[in-house]
């Protein structure tokens, strides 16, 4: 509700021509308790377009800027949910009320708290500019992005009636300026002394209750424009049910392809800078415009906290069984039972963990890769690992993880391009890779993550010479081929193996994967069946 | 004071411009639920641990544009014996903040159970996953930090909850938690950029928690499929 200082003398100025005689300046003056014309809003809604109204005085400024609503209908029609609906206003309104939870009445006397605050003008201006539901976002045509432009003021907001019984006199506030208040309609059709307030303009105060001076600014800066009219804002009955959880319902073949566990948490970025030191914590500190001297007022603040802090204590013993909705309290386990399906999401997470861990432990699900079996981690700080090769980002080259690379060309002078030599060896590698990979799962499941014998054998096939230089070249073509081969293989056998055992060996301790540990293979089977059924 | 509405239209409701948001704080004992709440509301931090014997309630009003938002924060004692009061903190809440201690991985693991139980009472609430004590977290091994970050990210994804690492004692990301609540509830776009780099106080919210839960008006427990 708006309790706003108004200078009645100014009402004749420019844009108040439409004000009915009964709200003439003299009337206003007499009713000095009236703090704002907004309080004289007539009940009858109007969607007529309006320009901007600004009341201001030396202390405070008040703006009810609204914009033309004329294209509002067309805009709403752009939304399927509203298309063709006759009573859009009702829809929007009910939506607004629904979505925006339970508005409660706020006493206007609190407005006094903000009086005299020098920042108020500035804040109010910012509100008007940045988050002014009344103006731009509810009805504004100037901001076509604003989905709210066709928002009508909910009926509940319209009931700002003029009333002489209203308290809160604010005669000291004078309205010294006003511009184009065409939203103040002639009262003749709106009832006695009614100022028609635009439907799309919530007659909400910007004035009262600015308690959090130090944050208010924050809050409004924090949001970019918006109250976007997204479909999620709409009432659920207008929406198709979204299929939640499908995002995480990946089949094993999908997520085991990659050895990069950061893919599982794509939003997380690897650390490029130095790790944060405790001394650097300051740079993350949230800025408060008025950082309160917490230490100084600590005692009093604590007092106020203890004053305001209410504690609800239980009246019944925690051993009492209870039932609430679908949840049943089990006093023995001290748990609410029910809603078990909620855990399924985390089971997915756990299987993600497994994949990620598997990848870290160089496990068995990826036969082509693990054949080389020496990758401990798919993504180390050094870079990508393919097979037993790891990309050395410093030198931009691939090196062997186990380090015992032999350079067949060690004794050959440099002028011979190494590429020509690498080709034949690659051709050799491929069949080797394939054949060896068939053994890989069982071998690795025995815990032989780094079977040196296999490595040696493999190695000896390719590099009969016993030079010790640990580098050789793989051209990108071959790498690509490796990749495709591997993908093919993973696709084929991706659902065959359960990684649990191998992974649990190494990582079970620090990675808590409790419940599904024993029967999560069922989930794997389920996925396998589902994916095969799909095919 | 009570607004007197005009006699001609008695049917119209009173003007409403304060939105009350009930927020539930849930998590293991000593993760910092009460501290976070008190810090947010009163900007006070106390190192001393005070056990919550039941449910603590604090309210805080902020002004957002032309509307007021009254946060009604309920903080449930983390000890098991108070879990029978979980409905108090979760039912009807518009947002449920799940807290875990970044320095104690087991508290993250508990989130699963908290989440199951809390969503059993309230599926509509916007969940948030908040890791606390970030200031202590940075002292830990980088590899540990990376593991926790990833694991909590996975949890956040599973819950479809924004992920925030905060430090109550150092005023890191405390306000942001509640701003995100507003942003998610009202579909606002926050200006604050996300913090995604492992090791930083993560602030990942843009694509999490936006899928609107069933109706927000009714707090009835509609059974999920």
DSSP string across A363-395:
-SS-HHHHTT---S-SEETTEEEETTEEEETTT
What is the distance of C-alpha B50 from the center of its chain? 20
Give backbone dihedrals phi and psi of B92, rounded to 5 degrees, phi first: 75, -5
- Our CA-based measurement puts residue A519 at a distance from the nearest CA of chain B, in whole angstroms, of 17
A107 to B1: CB separation less than 8 angstroms, yes or no:
yes
> Stretch A95-103: mean pLDDT, rounded?
44
User: Could you tell me if A375 and A362 are in contact, meaning their C-beta atoms sit under 8 angstroms apart?
Assistant: yes
Which residue pairs from A521-524 have beta carbons closer than 8 angstroms and sit at least 24 positions apart in sequence?
A: A523/A347, A523/A351, A524/A252, A524/A351, A524/A495, A524/A498
- Our CA-based measurement puts residue B197 at a distance from the nearest CA of chain A, in whole angstroms, of 4
Residue A457 has a CB neighbour count (10 Å cut-off) of 12
For residues B146 and A298, which has the higher predicted lDDT (pLDDT)? Answer: B146
> Stretch A215-225: mean pLDDT, rounded?
57
Candidate from A73-77, A269-273, A434-438 with smallest mean pLDDT: A73-77
For residues A244 and B116, which has the higher predicted lDDT (pLDDT)? Answer: B116
DSSP string across A490-503:
HHHHTTT---HHHH
What DSSP state is assigned to residue A185?
B
For residues B35 and A61, which has the higher predicted lDDT (pLDDT)? Answer: B35
Is the pLDDT score of A301 beyond 80? no
Separation between Cα atoms, residue B64 and residue A127, nearest integer Å: 8
User: Could you tell me if A136 and A64 are in contact, meaning their C-beta atoms sit under 8 angstroms apart?
Assistant: no
Residue count of chain A = 535
Bridge-partner residues for A225, per DSSP? none
Residue of A nearest to B214 (CA): A236
Q: Which of A238, A253, A268 is at the close of a domain? A: A238
Q: What confidence score (pLDDT) does residue A304 get?
A: 60
User: Could you tell me if A54 and A177 are in contact, meaning their C-beta atoms sit under 8 angstroms apart?
Assistant: yes
Q: What confidence score (pLDDT) does residue B48 get?
A: 85
Residues A39 and A159 in one domain: yes
pLDDT in tens, B154-198: 899 888 899 999 999 999 999 999 999 998 888 888 888 888 888
> Stretch A119-130: mean pLDDT, rounded?
63
Chain B stretch 101-130, residues whose beta carbon is closer than 8 A to a beta carbon of chain A: 105-106, 109, 112-113, 115-117, 119-121
Q: What confidence score (pLDDT) does residue A498 get?
A: 63
H or E element in which residue A528 lies:
helix A516-534
The four Cα atoms A98, B98, B187, B151 give a dihedral, to 10 degrees, of -140
Is the pLDDT score of B103 beyond 90? yes
- Classify residue A272: in a domain, yes or no: no
H or E element in which residue A102 lies:
strand A102-104
- Reported as a pLDDT band with limits 50, 70 and 90, residue A215 is very low
What's A195-236 look like in SS3?
EECECCCCCCCCCCCCCCHHHHHHHHHHECCCCCCCHHHCCH
Q: Which of B137, B155, B136, B133 is nearest to B198 (CA)?
A: B137
> Stretch A89-107: mean pLDDT, rounded?
43
- Our CA-based measurement puts residue A50 at a distance from the nearest CA of chain B, in whole angstroms, of 19
Interchain contact B193–A (C-beta under 8 A) = no
Tell which phi-psi region holds residue B79, choosing left (phi > 0), alpha (psi between -120 and 50) or beta: beta
Q: What confidence score (pLDDT) does residue B7 get?
A: 43
Separation between Cα atoms, residue A55 and residue A174, nearest integer Å: 9
- Our CA-based measurement puts residue B161 at a distance from the nearest CA of chain A, in whole angstroms, of 12
Q: Which of B160, B134, B155 is nearest to B39 (CA)?
A: B134
pLDDT in tens, A192-202: 444 444 444 44
In percent, how much of chain A has pLDDT > 70? 23
Give the SS3 label for residue B213: coil
Chain A stretch 279-308, residues whose beta carbon is closer than 8 A to a beta carbon of chain B: 280-282, 284-286, 288, 292, 294, 298, 301-302, 304-305, 308
User: Could you tell me if A527 and A494 are in contact, meaning their C-beta atoms sit under 8 angstroms apart?
Assistant: no
What is the distance of C-alpha A345 from the center of its chain? 18
Q: Which of the listed ranges A31-45, A46-60, A181-195, B102-116 does the model predict with the highest average pLDDT? A: B102-116
- Classify residue A287: in a domain, yes or no: no
- Reported as a pLDDT band with limits 50, 70 and 90, residue A129 is low
In percent, how much of chain A has pLDDT > 90? 1
B113 to A335: CB separation less than 8 angstroms, yes or no:
yes
Burial code (b: 16+ CB inside 10 Å, e: under 16) for B80-90 equals: eebbbbbbbbb
Chain A stretch 192-251, residues whose beta carbon is closer than 8 A to a beta carbon of chain B: 202-206, 209-212, 215-216, 218-228, 230, 232-233, 235-236, 239, 242, 244, 247-248
pLDDT in tens, B203-222: 999 888 877 554 444 333 33
Contact list, B179 vs chain A (CB under 8 Å): 218-219, 222
Residues A230 and A367 in one domain: no
- Reported as a pLDDT band with limits 50, 70 and 90, residue A77 is very low
Residue A257 has a CB neighbour count (10 Å cut-off) of 19
Interchain contact B92–A (C-beta under 8 A) = no
Q: Which of A338, A281, A56 is nearest to A175 (CA)?
A: A56
ipTM: 0.77
Is the pLDDT score of A73 beyond 60? no
Is the pLDDT score of A156 beyond 80? no
- Reported as a pLDDT band with limits 50, 70 and 90, residue A247 is very low
Contact list, A270 vs chain B (CB under 8 Å): 197-198
Owning domain of residue A49? 8-238
Residues A233 and A360 in one domain: no
- Classify residue A333: in a domain, yes or no: no
Separation between Cα atoms, residue A359 and residue A253, nearest integer Å: 14
Which of A132, A352, A353 comes nearest B65 by C-beta? Answer: A132
- Reported as a pLDDT band with limits 50, 70 and 90, residue A377 is very low
For residues A475 and B135, which has the higher predicted lDDT (pLDDT)? Answer: B135
Query: Order of strands, edge to edge, in the sheet holding A327-330?
Result: A322-324, A327-330, A335-337
User: Could you tell me if B220 and A252 are in contact, meaning their C-beta atoms sit under 8 angstroms apart?
Assistant: no
Is the pLDDT score of A63 beyond 70? no
Radius of gyration for chain A, computed over Cα atoms and rounded to the nearest angstrom: 35
Residue of B nearest to A298 (CA): B44
Maximum Cα–Cα distance across chain B: 70
Q: What confidence score (pLDDT) does residue A44 get?
A: 39
Separation between Cα atoms, residue B225 and residue A245, nearest integer Å: 12
Residues A524 and A395 in one domain: yes
Residues A349 and A233 in one domain: no
Q: Which of A214, A238, A262 is at the close of a domain? A: A238
The four Cα atoms A64, A68, A74, A76 give a dihedral, to 10 degrees, of 0
Is the pLDDT score of A428 beyond 50? no
Q: Please give the mean pLDDT across all residues of chain A.
A: 54
- The alpha carbon dihedral of A481, A487, A493, A498 has a sign of positive
Bridge-partner residues for B165, per DSSP? B131
Separation between Cα atoms, residue B182 and residue A222, nearest integer Å: 10
A159 to B15: CB separation less than 8 angstroms, yes or no:
yes
State in Å, rounded, how far the first CA of chain B is from the last one: 46
Mutate to test the interface with B, among A101, A355, A379 (most CBs of B within 10 A): A101
- Classify residue A136: in a domain, yes or no: yes
Residues A67 and A192 in one domain: yes
Q: What confidence score (pLDDT) does residue A278 get?
A: 80
- Reported as a pLDDT band with limits 50, 70 and 90, residue A390 is confident
Q: Which of A345, A100, A308, A310 is nearest to B88 (CA)?
A: A310
Considering the four listed CATH numbers 3.60.20.10, 3.20.20.70, 3.40.50.300, 3.50.30.30, the one that applies to the domain covering B19-204 is: 3.40.50.300
Is the pLDDT score of A452 beyond 80? no
Q: Which of A238, A255, A285 is at the close of a domain? A: A238
Bridge-partner residues for A328, per DSSP? A323, A337
Contacts (Cβ under 8 Å, ≥6 apart) of B127: B95, B96, B97, B98, B115, B118, B119, B159, B160, B161, B209
User: Could you tell me if B39 and A301 are in contact, meaning their C-beta atoms sit under 8 angstroms apart?
Assistant: no
Which of B117, B146, B190 comes nearest A336 by C-beta? Answer: B117
Q: What confidence score (pLDDT) does residue A221 get?
A: 65
- Our CA-based measurement puts residue B100 at a distance from the nearest CA of chain A, in whole angstroms, of 15
Domain count, chain A: 2
Q: What confidence score (pLDDT) does residue A373 get?
A: 40
Interchain contact A263–B (C-beta under 8 A) = no
Is the pLDDT score of A340 beyond 80? yes
Separation between Cα atoms, residue B44 and residue A367, nearest integer Å: 56
- Reported as a pLDDT band with limits 50, 70 and 90, residue A382 is low
Contacts (Cβ under 8 Å, ≥6 apart) of A295: none
Is the pLDDT score of B33 beyond 70? yes
Candidate from A414-423, A476-485, B98-107 with smallest mean pLDDT: A414-423
């Amino acid at each position: 509700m708006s309790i706003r200082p108004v200078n009645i003398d100014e009402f004749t100025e420019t844009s108040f021509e439409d004000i009915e005689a009964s709200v003439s300046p003299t009337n206003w003056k007499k009713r000095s308790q009236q703090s704002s014309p907004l309080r004289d809003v007539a009940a009858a809604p109007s969607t007529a377009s309006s320009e901007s109204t600004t009341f201001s005085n030396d202390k405070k400024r008040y703006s009810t800027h609204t914009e033309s609503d004329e294209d509002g209908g067309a805009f709403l029609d752009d939304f399927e949910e509203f298309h063709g609906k006759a009573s859009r206003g009702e829809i929007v309104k009910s939506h607004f009320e629904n979505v925006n939870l339970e508005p409660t009445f706020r006493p206007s006397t609190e407005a006094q708290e903000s009086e005299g605050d020098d920042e108020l003008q500035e804040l109010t201006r910012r509100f008007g500019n940045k988050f002014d539901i009344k103006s731009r976002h509810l009805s504004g045509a100037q901001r076509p992005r604003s989905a709210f432009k066709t928002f009508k003021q909910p009926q509940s907001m319209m009931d700002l009636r003029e009333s002489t019984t209203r308290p809160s006199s604010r005669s000291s506030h004078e309205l010294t300026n006003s511009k184009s208040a065409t939203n103040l309609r002639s009262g003749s059709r709106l009832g006695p002394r009614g100022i028609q307030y635009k439907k799309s303009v919530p007659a909400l105060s910007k004035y009262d209750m600015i308690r959090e001076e130090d944050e208010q600014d924050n809050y409004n800066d924090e949001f970019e424009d918006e109250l976007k009219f997204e479909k999620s804002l709409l009432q659920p009955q207008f929406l198709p049910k979204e299929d939640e959880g499908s995002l995480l319902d990946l089949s094993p073949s999908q997520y085991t392809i990659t050895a990069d566990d950061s893919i599982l948490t794509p939003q997380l970025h690897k650390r490029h800078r130095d790790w944060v030191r405790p001394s650097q914590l300051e740079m993350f500190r949230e800025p408060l415009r008025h950082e309160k001297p917490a230490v100084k007022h600590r005692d009093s603040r604590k007092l106020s906290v203890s004053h305001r802090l209410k504690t609800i204590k239980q009246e019944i013993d925690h051993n009492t069984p209870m039932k609430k909705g679908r949840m049943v309290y089990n006093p023995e386990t001290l748990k609410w039972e029910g809603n078990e399906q909620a855990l399924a999401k985390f089971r997915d997470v756990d299987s993600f963990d497994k994949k990620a861990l598997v990848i870290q432990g160089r496990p068995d699900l990826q036969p082509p890769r693990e054949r080389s079996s020496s990758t401990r981690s798919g993504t180390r700080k050094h870079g990508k690992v393919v097979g037993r090769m790891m990309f050395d980002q410093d030198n931009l080259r691939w090196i062997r993880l186990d380090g015992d690379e032999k350079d067949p060309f060690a004794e050959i002078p440099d002028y011979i391009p190494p590429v020509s030599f690498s080709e034949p060896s690659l051709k050799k590698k491929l069949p080797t890779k394939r054949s060896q990979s068939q053994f890989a799962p069982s071998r690795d499941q025995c815990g032989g993550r780094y079977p040196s014998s296999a490595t040696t054998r493999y190695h000896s096939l390719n590099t009969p010479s016993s030079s010790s230089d640990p580098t050789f070249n793989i051209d990108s073509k071959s790498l690509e081929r490796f990749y495709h081969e591997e993908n093919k293989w993973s696709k084929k056998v991706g659902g065959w193996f359960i990684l649990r055992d191998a992974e649990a060996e190494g990582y079970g301790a620090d990675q808590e994967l409790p419940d599904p540990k024993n029967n999560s293979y069922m989930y794997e089977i389920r996925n396998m069946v589902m994916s095969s059924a799909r095919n | 004071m009570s607004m007197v509405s005009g006699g001609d239209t008695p049917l119209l409701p009173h003007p409403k411009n304060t939105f009350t948001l009930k927020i539930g704080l849930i998590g293991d004992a000593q993760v910092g639920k009460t501290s976070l709440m008190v810090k947010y509301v009163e900007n006070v931090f106390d190192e001393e641990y005070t056990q919550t014997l039941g449910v603590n309630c604090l309210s805080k009003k902020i002004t957002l544009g032309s509307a007021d938002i009254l946060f009604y924060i309920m903080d449930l004692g983390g000890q098991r014996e108070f879990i029978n009061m979980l409905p108090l903190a979760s039912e009807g809440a518009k947002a449920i903040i799940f807290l875990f201690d970044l320095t104690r991985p087991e508290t993250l693991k508990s989130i699963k159970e908290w989440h199951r139980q809390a969503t059993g009472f309230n599926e509509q609430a916007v969940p948030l996953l908040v890791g606390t004590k970030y200031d202590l977290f940075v002292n830990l091994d980088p590899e540990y930090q990376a593991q926790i970050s990833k694991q909590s990210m996975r949890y956040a994804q599973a819950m479809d909850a924004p992920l925030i690492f905060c430090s109550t004692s150092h005023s890191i990301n405390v306000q942001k938690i509640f701003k995100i609540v507003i942003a998610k509830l009202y579909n606002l776009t926050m200006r604050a950029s996300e913090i995604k780099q492992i090791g930083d106080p993560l602030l990942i919210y843009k694509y999490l928690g936006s899928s609107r839960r069933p109706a927000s008006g009714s707090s009835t427990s509609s059974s999920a499929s």
